[in-house]
Amino acid sequence: MHDDIPLTLGRVKRVLEERIRPAIHPVSIPLVIDWHELPGEPIAPADALGLEYTDYQVGTPWGAAWGTTWFRLRGTVPSSWAGKRVEALVDLGFDQTLTGFQCEGLVYRGNGTTVKAINPRNQWIPVADPAAGEESVEYFLEAAANPVLLGHHPFQPTAEGDIRTSSSRKIYATRRMDLAIFEPEVHELALDLEVLLELQAELPQGPRRMRILQAMDNALDGLDLQHITETAPDARTELVEVLSRRADESTHRISAVGHSHIDSAWLWPLRETIRKVARTCSSMVEMLGIDEDFLYGMSSAQQYAWIKEHRPEVYDKVKQAVASGRFLPLGGMWVESDTVMPSGESLVRQFHYGQKFFREEFGVRSAGVWLPDSFGYSPALPQLMRRAGFGWFFTQKISWNQQNTFPHHSFLWEGIDGSRVFSHFPPMDTYNSQLSGEEVARAARQFRESRHATGSIAAVGWGDGGGGTTREMTGKARRLADLEGSPTVRWEHPDAFFARAKAELENPPVWVGELYLELHRATLTSQHRTKQGNRRTEQLLVEAELWSATAAISSGFAYPYAEIDALWKQVLLQQFHDILPGTSIAWVHREVVAEYARVTQGAEAIIAAAQAALVGTGDTTITLNAAPFTRSGVRTGAGAAVADLAPVTDTVTATESPEGFVLSNELVTVAISREGLITSAIDHLSGRETISVGTAANLLQMHQDLPNKWDAWDVDKYYRNQVTDLRGLDAITLATDADGTARVIIERSFSASTLRQDLTLAPGSRVLQIEQTTDWHETEKFLKVAFPFDIRAEQVIAETQFGFHKRPTHVNTSWEAAKFETSMHRFVLAEEPGFGAALVNDSIYGFDVTRDSTEAGVTTNVRLSLLRAPRFPDPETDQGLQSHRYGLVIGADIATATEAGALMNSAERTLTGAHGFEPLVSVEGTGILLSSVKLAGDRSGDLVVRVYESLGRRAAGTVNVHRPVEWASVITLLEDPIEGPGGMAEHTDGSVAIALTAFEVRTLRFSLIR
């Protein structure tokens, strides 16, 4: 027979778009609207309902950026609509090419309770059944004029990203505020046709596809375009057969979970996220009432805590929905944090505070970690997840890799310590699924474990102000539950999916080491003050806990539980994956830097009070040490009278000549040229030169840095092609400090910026320390500082949480080549057998390494990433005064690098008091380091001590509590007991013997005799 497939497809598309969809709401009348504009910060809904409202005409521009407009919507349902379903329809002036990231609204009843949100692709409000006699309608709509910052002309610098610089121009104009009849059968017909249209597009030429095409033709033959409501049931009848054909038995199974990825801050301020969460939760609770199979999952305890505090009425509904088992708290973290940069203790607290909140509020505990969107995943995570009690890990982000395709979707991920966690990356490659035919087919086609496993996860719904899952999506899920030619779709808790996946994959593939994201590499550097605030506050809080616990047990100091919890939660919030990476708008980073100052103040006050309680009142000078290494003769966690300490015997000699400066102590000799470059750095013990012949270290290099996309996120490989060496010098002088430290001061100016470096060498130290202040006024530049080492390192060793990882220095494979900018914590070490050198820092996370070939052979050039100047989303990123502290460790191995890094990050403190004091806790054993000393979160007064193995090998030693101990036990990272023999900890006079495997983290609990 003759057959013309394009004719059928064209017919269905046109009729669906132009006739059927408009007929879902065939009749409408305008509502009567009043409004009240609030250009500044939002006010409480209860207050807004009582505002003065004045007449408003639909189409009138509303909302300057970041303002809130309250609309009152009133109307009467015509008596002729009796028996019909009625809805209000609101189009705030949405940009429908974007699913979120723009204006939004939340609808309230006159009594202040919420109804649901209004979003670009979710514009309806239910109206009580008019047949029940409720004919007059009154709603209030809180509309937020969040500007589009990433739309049609992405990545353009904009002043709209801060309320202080945004314009007062009104940016939206409403299009529609109506009462309308809703025709459910027409809505269902539209979904029938949409699902079939999308399915046939994925099918091969064959009987199934042809029958669908014929059925759609038949359906349209049965539809009277002038009487769509009346004939929609007939049209649907023609589709029943093709929609009831059952899926193939072997088809891919999709476990869907309703979702809305809400970034805790990004292209909007933190305060707006509170409202985004309230809006989305209101709609999702409403959706749970509409579709009884639907399940909705939401991560981030912080987001629940926000609505608990700010929108208790929404929170009550969420709490009920959680209790019903259909609103699923996911992930068990305080926020969906970055996982590359936070410290080990920070990640532990993300889990601790996240799970604690879920447990206390809902009586549930998340079984897995849900992180669809962070920018790479630390290889320390598998152990931390396991020790926090998680059984699975979910992300999607690695599908964004620029170069290499990740080889697995369901697999075991093995971390630095050998811990493995079952992980899943949805093959659909999105966390904003709309369950389109194309998406579900892609999931089936791409799924890598199809030989053994049957399914994958789909996170279904619009994020970031898109409002979550729509009724169109749940309608599609119903049709795709069991449909021939399509993967099956069913709403399912991710826990159920993971249980099945684990059972199916008896021998899952294994991925070892970091999950490096081959994109967004500049997030290790952008917004330096944010990164500095993170590093310093997470360290200060660990110190505040150490001194508070010591003082509480030794001197009856009141342990400030609530203050410490609140400060930690602020730091954890700011580790969110668009804040710490430096990829939010100016407003966010401005507030975040101020919050770091507040946290610093709070932590310093706790430290000062606890230390004062420990040393008493007097005028003896006492030095206290919180670093996990003895320093200046003071043990970890102790205070010692300076007079009692052995005096430093070493001295530094500093000489000046026409060639430059030579600084020397008993360990090292460093030569600094008149250009301010380090031309030689000799380790006395080995006699080795650290700097490559013919090169110089401390060379500042500035690159042009305009990535193709994602300015604050990305640095593209070609940035290396354009470089300026900053050799110009304004001044260089030599000085000697009172304690004998030699100091070379270098001042430079370049382009529009100036810079000062103090290079110091202290007696008895092998670290040449560099304190740098930069007055940075550059555009789209990347500042690095290079250290070309005369070391043939096959790999560099970079610190991560509770250990380190090794990355090859070669670029033999595309996987290595893609890692042209990588992460570290406090140190990076380049080592060859017998000799190494390290760079340590107190607030830098990014670096790069190249193997250079010189006359002397292969050498290793390590460069720290100091500053960038992207212009989107914050056009003023990193402008102004910036400070850095880093150091060259001359002659280093893992142990010395670890120690130097830890010491640089923990300031020695000196104060006056009556007496020094012994540590509360001490640790013995090579490589075993104290990570945390605190009182238990349950406020029992028990002591919690966390240690880890830092050298990457097995270690044995003891953890000693120097107070009478009643009992000791091993606990989880959440401070829960461990059942069975693993939970036992025999102690002898407060000492617990421990044997740790490489990088093992062990947490102990001590109940003290009081």
Q: Residue 373 or 794: which CB sits closer to Zn ion?
A: 373
Q: Among 442, 8, 438, 11, which residue's Cα sits nearest to residue 210? A: 8
Q: Which of residues 527-546 bind Zn ion (CB under 5 A)?
A: none
Q: Residue 523 or 950: which CB sits closer to Zn ion?
A: 523
Window of 82-90, 256-264, 400-408, 591-599 that interacts with Zn ion by CB under 5 A: 256-264
Q: Which residue is nearest to Zn ion (CB)?
A: 373
Interface with Zn ion, residue 263, by CB under 5 A: yes
Q: Among 557, 702, 502, 629, which residue's Cα sits nearest to residue 898? A: 629
Task: State the minimum distance, in angstroms, from the CB of residue 872 to Zn ion.
Answer: 16
Q: Residue 174 or 378: which CB sits closer to Zn ion?
A: 378
CA 308-371-705 angle, to 5 degrees, is 110
- Token look-up 């809904």 returns 45
Window of 261-269, 488-496, 889-897, 998-1006 that interacts with Zn ion by CB under 5 A: 261-269
Q: Among 143, 312, 158, which residue's Cα sits nearest to residue 877? A: 158
Tell me the C-alpha distance between 835 and 790, whole Å. Answer: 10
Q: Residue 260 or 665: which CB sits closer to Zn ion?
A: 260
Window of 108-116, 275-283, 366-374, 703-711 that interacts with Zn ion by CB under 5 A: 366-374
Burial call 65-90: b when 16+ CB within 10 Å, e when fewer = bbbbbbbbbbbebeeebeebbbbbbb
Task: State the minimum distance, in angstroms, from the CB of residue 354 to Zn ion.
Answer: 16
Q: Residue 337 or 625: which CB sits closer to Zn ion?
A: 337
Task: State the minimum distance, in angstroms, from the CB of residue 749 to Zn ion.
Answer: 39
Window of 191-199, 373-381, 557-565, 794-802 that interacts with Zn ion by CB under 5 A: 373-381
Site track for Zn ion across 208-247, x = CB under 5 A: ----------------------------------------
Task: State the minimum distance, in angstroms, from the CB of residue 136 to Zn ion.
Answer: 42
Task: State the minimum distance, in angstroms, from the CB of residue 463 to Zn ion.
Answer: 8
95, 286, 316, 373: residue in contact with Zn ion (rule CB under 5 A): 373
Window of 58-66, 98-106, 369-377, 466-474 that interacts with Zn ion by CB under 5 A: 369-377
Tell me the C-alpha distance between 701 and 691, whole Å. Answer: 17
Q: Among 987, 1000, 549, which residue's Cα sits nearest to residue 802? A: 1000
User: What are the start-end ranges of the E strands in 914-986?
Assistant: 921-924, 928-935, 943-949, 955-961, 965-971, 984-985
Q: Residue 263 or 975: which CB sits closer to Zn ion?
A: 263
For residue 692, the 8-state DSSP code is P
Identify residue 141 by its one-letter amino acid code.
L
Tell me the C-alpha distance between 268 and 579, whole Å. Answer: 11
Task: State the minimum distance, in angstroms, from the CB of residue 577 to Zn ion.
Answer: 6
HEC profile of 422-473: EEECCCCCCCCECCCHHHHHHHHHHCCCCCCCCEEEEEECECCCCCECCHHH
Q: Residue 373 or 666: which CB sits closer to Zn ion?
A: 373
Tell me the C-alpha distance between 110 and 408, whole Å. Answer: 52
Residues found in the chain: 1010
Window of 252-260, 367-375, 742-750, 839-847 that interacts with Zn ion by CB under 5 A: 367-375
Q: Residue 373 or 563: which CB sits closer to Zn ion?
A: 373
Q: Residue 356 or 520: which CB sits closer to Zn ion?
A: 520
Window of 258-266, 284-292, 440-448, 874-882 that interacts with Zn ion by CB under 5 A: 258-266
The CA R_g of the chain, rounded to the nearest whole Å, is 31
Task: State the minimum distance, in angstroms, from the CB of residue 459 to Zn ion.
Answer: 12
Task: State the minimum distance, in angstroms, from the CB of residue 256 to Zn ion.
Answer: 20
H-run or E-run covering 243: helix 240-244
Q: Residue 129 or 373: which CB sits closer to Zn ion?
A: 373
Task: State the minimum distance, in angstroms, from the CB of residue 592 to Zn ion.
Answer: 16
Task: State the minimum distance, in angstroms, from the CB of residue 519 to Zn ion.
Answer: 13
Task: State the minimum distance, in angstroms, from the CB of residue 373 to Zn ion.
Answer: 3
Q: Among 749, 546, 511, which residue's Cα sits nearest to residue 635? A: 546
- Using DSSP, state whether 542 is helix, strand or coil: helix
What is the helix, strand, coil percentage profile of the chain, to 5? 30, 30, 40
- Tell me the torsion sign for CA atoms 384, 386, 387, 389: positive
Tell me the DSSP string of 650-676.
Answer: ---EEEEETTEEEEE-SSEEEEEETTS
Window of 222-230, 257-265, 269-277, 348-356 that interacts with Zn ion by CB under 5 A: 257-265
Task: State the minimum distance, in angstroms, from the CB of residue 263 to Zn ion.
Answer: 4
Task: State the minimum distance, in angstroms, from the CB of residue 757 to Zn ion.
Answer: 37
Q: Residue 263 or 518: which CB sits closer to Zn ion?
A: 263
Tell me the C-alpha distance between 728 and 744, whole Å. Answer: 16
Task: State the minimum distance, in angstroms, from the CB of residue 402 to Zn ion.
Answer: 18
Task: State the minimum distance, in angstroms, from the CB of residue 97 to Zn ion.
Answer: 20
Interface with Zn ion, residue 942, by CB under 5 A: no
Q: Residue 371 or 1001: which CB sits closer to Zn ion?
A: 371
Contacts 24+ apart (CB under 8 A), 434-437: 434/460, 434/462, 434/470, 434/472, 434/473, 434/476, 435/256, 435/460, 435/473, 435/476, 435/477, 435/480, 435/489, 436/198, 436/476, 437/195, 437/197, 437/198, 437/199, 437/201, 437/202, 437/486
Q: Residue 263 or 778: which CB sits closer to Zn ion?
A: 263
Q: Are 935 and 548 in contact (CB under 8 A)?
A: yes
- Angle at which helices 437-446 and 184-202 pack, to 10 degrees? 40
Q: Residue 263 or 492: which CB sits closer to Zn ion?
A: 263
First CA to last CA distance, the chain: 94
Tell me the C-alpha distance between 253 and 456, whole Å. Answer: 7
Tell me the C-alpha distance between 864 and 844, whole Å. Answer: 8
Burial call 858-869: b when 16+ CB within 10 Å, e when fewer = ebbbbbbbbbbb
User: What are the start-end ranges of the E strands in 340-433?
Assistant: 368-370, 392-394, 410-414, 420-424
Interface with Zn ion, residue 150, by CB under 5 A: no
Q: Residue 579 or 933: which CB sits closer to Zn ion?
A: 579
Task: State the minimum distance, in angstroms, from the CB of residue 203 to Zn ion.
Answer: 34
Q: Residue 56 or 394: which CB sits closer to Zn ion?
A: 394
Task: State the minimum distance, in angstroms, from the CB of residue 265 to Zn ion.
Answer: 10
Instruction: Tell me the number of residues near Zn ion by CB under 5 A.
Output: 2
Task: State the minimum distance, in angstroms, from the CB of residue 334 to Zn ion.
Answer: 15
Tell me the C-alpha distance between 858 and 876, whole Å. Answer: 40
Window of 95-103, 368-376, 531-539, 682-690 that interacts with Zn ion by CB under 5 A: 368-376
Q: Residue 373 or 565: which CB sits closer to Zn ion?
A: 373
Q: Residue 251 or 396: which CB sits closer to Zn ion?
A: 396
Window of 60-68, 260-268, 511-519, 962-970 that interacts with Zn ion by CB under 5 A: 260-268
Site track for Zn ion across 973-992, x = CB under 5 A: --------------------
| Structure tokens, 209 | 């596809």
Binding site for Zn ion (CB under 5 A): 263, 373
